[in-house]
Structure formats: C-alpha cells, structure tokens
C-alpha cells in the first residue's frame, strides 16, 4: 500500500559506477542518508543504473512504489569542484561516452513527445544557501549535461508533469569526485552533510528565495 502524502518519504537516488570508475559518490551519498528522518519524513535511497532508458524506467517504478513527497536525484560530475544544484533539464541525449550497456545515442530526445526543457521544481537557490550556510561550497548549475544524468533529470520532471506522482517536487544535484578519484574532489562526509542540508531546505521551502545565482557563460 502506498504511503499517504502526509507521511510520504523523500526519495533520494544515486547511480552505479560508470566510465571506468570503481565507485560513484552519488550512490555512496544516497546510501549514507537512507533511513534518516528529515522534518518527519523518511529518506528512501535507491540506486539507478547508468543506462539510458533503464534508469528512467526504474525511477518510474520507484515513484509508483513510494509516492514520495519530493525526489532528489544525484549524479557524479567529475571535474566539478562543488555540489551543483541543477536548474534545468533538456530534452536531448548526446552521449560523449557509452552508457554501462554500451549504448551511445547521439542527438536523440529523452521523450519524443516532451517539451524542450523542464525547470527543477525544488527551490534551487534555497538549496544552495543551505549548503553554503553549512560551510560547504555549492553552486546553481545551468546545465546537467547530455548524458544519463540529464536524461534521468528530464525523465523525472516529465514523469512528474504527466502525473506519475502528482504532489511530488523534483530536482537533480551533481556531486564531485571523491579525492581518490581525481582533482578537484570532495570528502564523502562533506557531500553527505551538504545533501542532508539540501533535503531539509527542500522540505521547508515551497517557494525559492530571491538570490543571485546566474551565469555569464
């Protein structure tokens, strides 16, 4: 039986390793927060495959199973120095490398019947501020790329927009490498602390705050 929305959980997802990495910090962060209580709601963590199509299908099944109050999907962005709250998902797949099943789609839509883009429905600037107030680096990012991370982000927002979990809000955050994976990197404990702060902010802020977080390029 699905939970009532009053007690609906917070769904937090991460990915399995890809691109030759032995670990994916997005899943390590999600797993570390599984079962925690935030503002009276339980965090439910799940791992998605770094596979086009399969990741979106698994996410859709998780939405049907848990009927979450909000969904925060995490992904790894090696080379970024901060936690990156993604503002927009685009309806485009243009894979620079193959996914974990060897597929490498080029110039393909995530959803042929979908709009060009979706904005996150989580308060991206409030999430950034919460992390910064915790003493950690964070940015609002204007691009989630064109690989599986963006496909999942777009797929999430498309599913929410078309009624998969009518009351849920959703968004996506990229986490850096761990220090042992490359430079720049961030300690796992700091990533966990930052995402924990974001979940609190996401629950507490139905509307975003007024703060500059734009980009020149």
Domains of the chain: 5-204 (3.40.630.20)
Query: DSSP E strands: which ranges in 126-195?
Result: 138-141, 169-175
Q: Where are the beta strands (DSSP E) in the chain?
A: 10-15, 37-38, 41-48, 70-76, 83-86, 88-90, 117-119, 138-141, 169-175
How much is the pLDDT for 4?
Answer: 53
Cα separation of 158 and 117, whole Å?
9
Which has the closest alpha carbon to 48: 25, 69, 27?
Answer: 27
Instruction: Return the active site residues.
Output: 86, 149, 174
Please state the pTM of the whole predicted model: 0.95
Q: What pLDDT score does 1 carry?
A: 46
pLDDT at 5: 60
Look at residue 200 in the predicted model and tell me its pLDDT: 97
Q: Give the span between the Cα atoms of 152 and 164, in whole angstroms.
A: 14
What three-state secondary structure class fits 171? Answer: strand
Where the chain has pLDDT below 50, the residues are 1
Which two tokens mark 188? 């796992």
């Amino acid at each position: 039986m699905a939970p009532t929305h009053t007690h609906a959980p917070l769904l937090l997802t991460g990915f399995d390793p890809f691109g030759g990495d032995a670990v994916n910090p997005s899943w390590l962060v999600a797993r570390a927060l599984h079962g925690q209580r935030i503002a009276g709601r339980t965090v439910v963590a799940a791992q998605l495959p770094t596979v086009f199509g399969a990741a979106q299908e698994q996410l859709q099944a998780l939405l049907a199973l848990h009927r979450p109050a909000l969904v925060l999907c995490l992904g790894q962005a090696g080379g970024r120095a901060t936690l990156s709250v993604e503002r927009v998902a685009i309806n485009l797949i243009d894979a620079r490398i193959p996914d974990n099943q060897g597929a490498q789609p080029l110039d393909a839509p995530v959803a042929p019947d979908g709009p060009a883009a979706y904005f996150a429905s989580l308060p991206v600037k409030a999430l950034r501020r919460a992390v910064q107030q915790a003493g950690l680096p964070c940015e609002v990012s204007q691009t989630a790329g064109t690989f599986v991370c963006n496909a999942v982000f777009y797929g999430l927002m498309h599913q929410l927009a078309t009624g998969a979990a009518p009351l849920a809000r959703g968004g996506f955050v990229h986490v850096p490498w761990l220090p042992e994976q490359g430079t720049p990197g961030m300690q796992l404990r700091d990533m966990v602390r930052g995402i924990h702060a974001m979940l609190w902010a996401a629950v507490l802020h139905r509307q975003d705050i007024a703060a500059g977080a734009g980009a020149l390029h």
